[in-house]
Every structure is written in structure tokens, then in C-alpha cells.
Amino acid sequence: MFKTSIFSFLLLASASIFGADCCGGRPDLNAFKVNGLQRDYPILYQNLTTKRSIPVNEKSKNLTFSGDVRSAWAHLREDFECDRIRGEEKEKIKFPSCNCSECNFSEAQNIPFPNDVFGTEFNFYVDYVQQCAWGVVWVQYSNAAGLVGSLRKCDKFTSQACRGSGTCEGVYLRKAYIGYNVIADGCTRIDLELGRRPLWSVFDSRVEFEQNFDGVLLRTAYNIQEDSDLYLNVAGFIIDERSHHYGFVGETGYFNILNTGFDLKYSLIDWRKGGANRCGIHNAPANQFLVSQVTGYYNLDYDFMWNNMQLYGAALFNSAAKRHPIFLNKKQDFGWYAGFVIGQVCKEGDWALDVNYQYVQAQTLPHCDLSGIGTGNALANCFDCAETPETAIGRTNYKGWRFEALYAFSDNFILDMLLQFSSPIEKKFGGKHNFSQFQLEAIYAF
């Protein structure tokens, strides 16, 4: 009976996805997930993952399920030169905006962007593991707060109507994949997985891997010494099936090198398209990305402030970047970040803090794959449809700080606090564009 109920729930959730508009992975501007970001950063993601191992009547020894309920508030500010983008009527904004519908999917021109955003979210996870095979599902419901059923369009006939920002859709199939263990002999393991998940759930970065990964993944791992491991993940994924556009990504890593506490990782992702895209454009700027990232970690082997501590840093380089007039005929292809994590949240009273500095030039990575701080970009401009340096505004070309703190009031109730802010690296194109965000999110995980 229990398994039947779970199956019925997943069937209904999956069917409703066909009627939902996910905007190519980008939420509606009214949705809570601001700045186009969907990911949980590592200190929160690790905590929620532990809930998936809690048995329900031993979960029939094979079946596990878990979930979390979230309620959140975020305060945002975005300024261009001397104009405020949020909290003002759009008709008063002098912010340069491209006219490309693929870039700018904002609503009616006279509807303001809010400074304060509220939202509710529910995540449901199912894992079924039996012998050498497994299946994983993650369904997400994310809704904006407010009255439901209001019209979005403002004109002389509807401007007096009762308004609200609430939504009742927002179904998102975040994970749905199957896996099979090919080899497991104690020192070597090889797995093959097929289906959907976020890129960041497999490949490591604080600033990239935000997009969906629909494809096939080969995982290999090898135990070198008692506390040292080597791994390699290689995958192919679909970018746009209508234009036969496919991407390739790989990552290798070496944990606890020579028992020194150092970890080293290298990843490479190829977004390039051979031939024309779906609109017949050859060598479109949005496809010119071959991004390498080198990441290092140092794990302290002693307690710091009664907690574990990890230092990390990474450098990124886009070897496919080309000089472009909107970037003043210079390459903007480099990025890096560095920071530290203190603590880990597993039970009541635990806390954790993640602090990092990010520096991402305009051509470092595709703006649709950015998972870092970004620029806010409420008007959804993009570099791909900019024609002059003045309109070269996107989600990259920023430097800034990100602070995230977690505290567990109980084993299941967690408070997540986020503070981040950024400013442009290069003001000669795109102008002076500042962004800041403070967010509180209450999470009950089970």
C-alpha cells in the first residue's frame, strides 16, 4: 500500500510537469528563486542528503524517501549608475535593456520588481536501491507568496483589479535517473547512470554547473591507500535536441594526496556547437565556452572553534573565448574564487559557516550556467543580444562576497542565512551595476 501511494504521487507530479513552464530552467521573475539560482550550497545540501538515509520501517530494505519544507524571505537591492532597479516602477528605470525576447522575459513594463521576495517550497526525494541497480527521483514545488489568480497584465481595463503575486504551479522534476553498478571489487568501482539531475550534484564548483544535466554519466573510483582515493566522472548531456547540440563534461579528483589533507580536482565542460543553432546562427556567442576549472581543498586535521575547517579555492578559464567589440575587443575569460567552511550541521545545536570571494569575468562561463553571486539582473539582459558596450549587461562580469550560515534548532529544523553582494569587474562596458541580497530560509527536513 505504501509503495502504491508513492508511485501514485510521482505519477501525478510527473504528469503535471508537461503543463508547467520552467522557462528553460529559469524561474519566473515572481518566483522565490531569485537571480535564476536553483542550487543549495554545500553546507545545506550535505545536511539534507543525510535525511535520505533514515529508514521508514527499514523502508522495505530497498525504498527510502525524504523531503523538506521551506519558507523564505529575501531582501534584494540592484542599482545601475544612480537608478534603483528594484522597488521602482519600470517606466522610470533608465537601465539599458536589449529587445531580444530570448533575453528579456520580464512582465508588463509598469509592474515593479520587489525589494522583498517571499516564497514557499517543498522537495520530495525517492530512492530505490536493489542489488546492483538503483533509481532516484527528486520533485520540487516552488511557489511565490501572495494572493492567487490575479492578472499580470496592467491596462486601462484591469488596473483596478485585485492583485496578488502568489502562484500555485512551479513543479520541477529536478532528478530522475537510473544507475547500474558495473564493477565493485573493494578497490575499484564503476557505475553507469542515465537520466536527469543538476550538473552541480555531480561536478564541483561554487560558480558554475547550475543547469540541468540530461544525459549519461560514467563514474569510476579507485582506492589508492587507506585514506586516499582517485575518481573520474565523464558525461555527455543534451543541450538542444532540436539543433543536435550536445555537451560533454568530465571531472577527476585525488583525495588526501599523500596523506597531507590536500584534495585536488580538475573539470572540463564543452558547450560549443558545431554548425548552426536552432535559429540558423553559426558560431553563436552563447556557445563559445570550453571551461576548465582547477579546484584545491585543504582539510585541517584538528578542531577549529570546536569544529572541522576546510579551506578551498578554484581558478576557471574559458579557452574558447574570442575578442568582441562589446567587450572593447578584449577577452574576458578568467574567473576564480576562494573561501573556507567551518563546521557541519548534522544534529541539534550544530552550526556551519561558508565564506567565499568570487571573481568572474564576462566570458568565463555561460550566464545560464552561473551558480555564483551574479549581478541580480532583474531585467534579464544578456551579452548575447547586446550590440554596444553600453548594453553589454549580463549575469557575469562581477566580483563579490558570499556568506552563508546554518544553525540547527533541532535535528530536523534548520535556519539558513545568506548574505551576498557584488559589483562589476569592468565598468567600461555595462556601466556601474551593484547587487546585494540578504535571505533567511526556515527549513524542516524529514
Segment 168-202, tens digit of pLDDT = 877 899 999 999 999 988 889 999 999 999 999 99
Average pLDDT of the residues in 397-417: 96
**What does the DSSP assignment read for 302-370?**
S-BTTB-EEEEEEEEEETT----GGGTT----EEEEEEEEEE---STT-EEEEEEEEEE-TTSS-GGG-
Q: Which residues contact 11 (CB under 8 A, 6 or more apart)?
A: none
Burial-class residue 404 by CB neighbours within 10 Å (0-12, 13-18, 19+). buried
pLDDT reading at 107 higher than 50: no
Average pLDDT of the residues in 144-171: 72
Grid coordinates belonging to 351: 552550526
What is the spatial distance between Cα 250 and Cα 236, in angstroms, rounded to a whole number? Answer: 9
Per-residue pLDDT at 46: 74
Per-residue pLDDT at 159: 64
Q: How confident is the model at residue 114 (pLDDT cuts 50, 70, 90)?
A: confident
pLDDT reading at 91 higher than 60: no
238 vs 27: which has the higher pLDDT: 238
This prediction has a pTM of 0.84
**244 bridge partner residues:** none
Of 396, 216, 391, 386, nearest to 289 (Cα)? Answer: 396
What is the spatial distance between Cα 357 and Cα 352, in angstroms, rounded to a whole number? Answer: 17
- Of 242-246, 247-251, 355-359, 399-403, minimum mean pLDDT range: 242-246
Per-residue pLDDT at 148: 79
Per-residue pLDDT at 11: 39
Average pLDDT of the residues in 241-263: 94
Q: How confident is the model at residue 381 (pLDDT cuts 50, 70, 90)?
A: confident
Per-residue pLDDT at 68: 96
Per-residue pLDDT at 383: 87
Averaged confidence pLDDT in the chain: 83
pLDDT reading at 269 higher than 90: yes
pLDDT reading at 2 higher than 60: no
What is the spatial distance between Cα 66 and Cα 47, in angstroms, rounded to a whole number? Answer: 12
Which of 44-53, 138-147, 155-164, 193-202 shows the highest mean pLDDT?
A: 193-202
What is the spatial distance between Cα 288 and Cα 272, in angstroms, rounded to a whole number? Answer: 5
Q: Which residues contact 377 (CB under 8 A, 6 or more apart)?
A: 35, 36, 78, 393, 394, 395, 435
Q: How confident is the model at residue 274 (pLDDT cuts 50, 70, 90)?
A: confident
**313 bridge partner residues:** 296, 338
Segment 203-242, tens digit of pLDDT = 999 999 999 999 999 999 999 877 789 999 999 999 999 9
Map out the domains of the chain with their CATH numbers: 2-445 (2.40.160.180)
Per-residue pLDDT at 239: 95
